[in-house]
Structure 1
Amino acid sequence: MKTPEIFIAGLGTYLPELFDARKAVALGLYDGEDYEWYGWKSAAVAGDMPAPDMAVTAARQAMRRSGLHPHDLDLHIHACGHEQGPEGWSAQHYILRHITDRDIPSFRVWQACSGLIGSLELAACYLRAVPERSAALVTGADNVGTPSFNRWDFGIQNGVVGDAASAVVLSTTGGFARLLAINTGSTAEVEEQYRGAEPLFPPSLTVGRSIDFKERLAAAGGLEETVAEVVRRQGELRTEIALRTLAEADLDAADITRVAHVFTGQESYLKVILDPMGLRPEQGLLDFGSRLGHLTVNDQIVGLEHLVATGQVGAGDHVLIVAHGGGVSITCAVVRIEARPDWSRTSSPLT
C-alpha cells in the first residue's frame, strides 16, 4: 500500500539497563553453549517496571519530538506480545489517559512481534480515510520478566528477550520522515506449529502453565523439522512483501541505506532475512541489537530511532523496516528521511 502524505513526526523509546549475558550464564539463567553460539551480549531488563508505564515514557518523548499537541491526536494503537497488567484490564486506555484527554479511539493489537509495525499500516489507513484526521500515536511495550517466562531461554529465534517500549507519531501535516509504502501478510497455517499440543481451553495463563515454544514446536512433528518449515514459509512471504513494498515506493534494493529488523545475535540469522532481498547484514543493526535482546514488538522502532539519533541516516536516505512475529504475521515498510530532526545527536550510549 502506498501511503502518500503520511509522515513520521516523532519517535520515542524507553530502554532499561542492560544485564550482561555472561552474568546470566554464571547465575544459571542462560545456557553456556547457547551464549557461545548465538552471540547475544546482554539483554535490556526492566525489573518490576510495568510495560504500560514504559509505553507512556516512550509516547511522551515521541509527542514532544513531534511538536504536536496531544489534542492533535485522532487515534492511538498499542501493540504488545505479553500481558500488560491485570487480566481483563485495558492497558491501551491507561496509556491514552496519560497522553491526552481527548476521547479518541484506542486499540490494542496482538500480532506477536510484528504488532507495532503492523499497527502503522492500520494507523495510516485510519488517517487517510477521513481528511480531517491529522495524527495518530502508535505505542509498543513489553516486560517479559514474569514467573512463567525465562527471557534467557525463549526457545525460538535463537532467542534472548529484552524489555523495552517505543512510540511513533504519524502525521498528515509533516514530519522528519515519510512513510512511503507498507504491506502486511499472514502465514496462517503456521499457527498450528506454535500451538503445539496445548489445549485451547482453559488458556494456559489462567492455569499457571509456563511458555515453552520448543515443546510446542516439537509436538508438531520434530523440533528441527518444524522450525525449518516455519522459517522457509515465513521467509518466502517476508521476501515477497519486502520486494512488493519497495516497488510501491518506486525503489529497489540498491536504494536502501539501512534496514531496521528483528534483533539477533547471529549474522547468519540476519543473512537469512536480508540475502533474498538483495541486502547485506552490514546494512542492519546486528551489533546494536545483540546488546539489547529481542525486544518483542519494539526492535524496528528502537532500531530506527537509533539510526536517526546517531546520524547514521540523514536526508534522502531510505530505511527498509522488516517485521515478523509468531511465525504467522509479517509487515514491511519503507521510510525516507526528509531531514535530520533537531533531537538527533552524534553519539549514543549504544553506538
Structure 2
Amino acid sequence: MRFGTDVGIRAVGVWLPETLDTAAQAVEEGRLPPEVAERMGVTALPIATEISAPDMAVRAARIALDRAGWDGGDIDVLVHTWIYHQGHDMWSPPHYIAKLLGAEGCLPLALHQGCDGGGLALQDAALRLTADPAVRRALVTASDRFVLPGIDRWNFQPSMPLGDSGTAILLERSPGADAPFALLAVNTYVAPDLEVLVRGDRPFADMPMQVELPFSVLDSARAGSELLASVAYDHITSLVTSTLQDAGVDADDERLRYVVLPRIGTSGVTALYLPALNDLLDVEYLRFDDLTGHLGCGDWGADLNDLYEGRILAPGDMALLIGAGAGLTWVCALVQAADDSEQGS
C-alpha cells in the first residue's frame, strides 16, 4: 500500500518506566531458566509499578505533541492499540487518552489485534489521512503493562520477554519539511491458519483468564513452531518484496540502509526473519530490544523513536520496519528520512 510522500511522521514519543527487572535477577531468583535467558538476548525489562497502561500512552503522546509543537486539539483521529488488560473491563481506553490530551474533537478508535497492532494502527491512520479530507492529523498510541497474576512477563512466550511502555506516533497529511520521516508504504501478509499459535487446544471460555492463570502461549507456540517456521520464509519474502514494489524502491537501492528487526529476542529473529531478509537485502540490521524486551504493539513507536533520537537515518535514507502478531499477520513499513530537515530535538 503506497503512501509516497503524502503522509509524514511528524513526531514520535516513548515513555518507559525507570524500574528495570534484569534477566540476571530473574535467573538468580529462579523466575527464568538460564538457558532461556541466553536464547532471549535481552538484558532487562522496564516495569511499571505505579502507573496504568493508558496513562503511559498519555505521557508518550505528550512527548510527541511537544516535539511537534501541537496540542491535543490538533488531533483529528486517535488510534490506540494494546495486547493486555488496560485497567478496566468493558471500557474504551482511547476515549480516556483523548480526554486527558484535550483531544475532544478527535475520533478515538481502538485496534486490538495482537503484537502487530502498532503497525496496523499506523496503516489505519495513514489510510484515514489519505481518504478523508477532514482528517489532517492523526495520533497512534500503544501501551501495555504486563503483570502477575495475569501475565508472567519472562515466561509468556518462548524466548520473548515482555516490557512495559507507552508509545506515540503523530502523522500528518501533506507534511512540511519539519516532518522527520515520510511513510512511503505499509503492507501486510495474513496467515489465518496460524491463529492456533495462541489458541492452542484450550476450550472456549466464558470470561477472561478463566481457563489459565497466568496466561501463557508457551505450549501452543512450541507446538506450532514447525508450522510457523515452514511458512515464515515465503511470507516475509512476499511481504518485503511487495512493500518495496509499492514504494517504487529496488531491493538494492543504496538509500535503503536498515531493517529494524522486531523486539522478539535473539532466537526469534534468527529463526524466523533473518533467513528471508539475508536473501533479499544487503542492509544493516538494527535491534533495540536489549533493555526493553518485546513491547507488544509498542514496538513500532519505540523503533521509530530510536531511529529519531539516534539520528540513525541520514537525509534521504530509508529503513524497513517489520513485525507480526497473533492471527497471524505480518506487517512491514518503509520510512524515509526527510531530505531537508535535521532529525533530533
TM-score, structure 1 as length reference = 0.89
Q: Percent identity?
A: 29
**Secondary structure of residue in 1 paired with 2:238:** helix
Structure 1 residues 18-52: Cα deviation after superposition (integer angstroms, max 9, x where no partner): 32210111112111221233322111211242110
Alpha-carbon contact 1:41-1:290 (below 8 Å) kept: yes
Displacement of 1:170 after TM fit? 0.7
Structure 1 residues 280-316: Cα deviation after superposition (integer angstroms, max 9, x where no partner): 684221xx31221111111232122112211221211
- Show the counterpart of 1:180: 184
Cα RMSD, aligned residues only: 2.2
**Secondary structure of residue in 1 paired with 2:225:** helix
Alpha-carbon contact 1:46-1:163 (below 8 Å) kept: yes
Quickly say closer, same or farther: Cα 1:187–1:260, change in 2 above 3 A.
same
| Pick aligned residue for 2:247 from 227, 246, 249 | 249
What amino acid sits opposite 1:98 in the alignment? Answer: L
Alpha-carbon contact 1:185-1:237 (below 8 Å) kept: yes
2:276 counterpart of 1:276: yes
Displacement of 1:236 after TM fit? 2.5
Structure 1 residues 100-149: Cα deviation after superposition (integer angstroms, max 9, x where no partner): 24232111111211101111111111111122321010000111023121
Displacement of 1:339 after TM fit? 5.1
After superposing on structure 2, the runs of 4+ consecutive aligned residues of structure 1 that deviate more than 4 Å are: 339-343
| Pick aligned residue for 2:56 from 51, 54, 57 | 54
Alpha-carbon contact 2:197-2:217 (below 8 Å) kept: no
Where does 1:51-90 land on structure 2 (aligned, <5 Å)?
51-90=53-92
Quickly say closer, same or farther: Cα 1:23–1:82, change in 2 above 3 A.
same
- Show the counterpart of 2:8: 7
Displacement of 1:247 after TM fit? 1.1
Alpha-carbon contact 1:145-1:151 (below 8 Å) kept: yes
Quickly say closer, same or farther: Cα 1:101–1:15, change in 2 above 3 A.
closer
Alpha-carbon contact 1:166-1:302 (below 8 Å) kept: yes
Alpha-carbon contact 1:114-1:330 (below 8 Å) kept: yes
- Show the counterpart of 1:239: 237
2:229 counterpart of 1:213: no
TM-score, structure 2 as length reference = 0.90
Distance 1:334 1:148 in 2: 35
Structure 1 residues 200-256: Cα deviation after superposition (integer angstroms, max 9, x where no partner): 2213425663212123346xxxx2xx2121233244223211210111111133332
**Secondary structure of residue in 2 paired with 1:257:** strand
Quickly say closer, same or farther: Cα 1:227–1:108, change in 2 above 3 A.
same
Distance 2:143 2:219 in 1: 26
- Show the counterpart of 2:142: 140
Structure 1 residues 84-106: Cα deviation after superposition (integer angstroms, max 9, x where no partner): 01111111111111112423211
Displacement of 1:176 after TM fit? 1.8
**Secondary structure of residue in 1 paired with 2:209:** helix
Unaligned runs of 5+ in 1: 346-351
What amino acid sits opposite 1:231 in the alignment? Answer: A
What amino acid sits opposite 1:245 in the alignment? Answer: T
What amino acid sits opposite 1:185 in the alignment? Answer: Y
Distance 1:124 1:259 in 2: 21
- Show the counterpart of 1:112: 114
**Secondary structure of residue in 2 paired with 1:302:** helix
Where does 1:123-162 land on structure 2 (aligned, <5 Å)?
123-156=125-158, 158-162=159-163
What amino acid sits opposite 2:320 in the alignment? Answer: L
- Show the counterpart of 2:100: 98
Alpha-carbon contact 2:261-2:285 (below 8 Å) kept: no
What amino acid sits opposite 1:82 in the alignment? Answer: Y
Matched residues, number: 336
Quickly say closer, same or farther: Cα 1:179–1:217, change in 2 above 3 A.
closer
Distance 1:338 1:314 in 2: 8
Alpha-carbon contact 2:308-2:343 (below 8 Å) kept: no
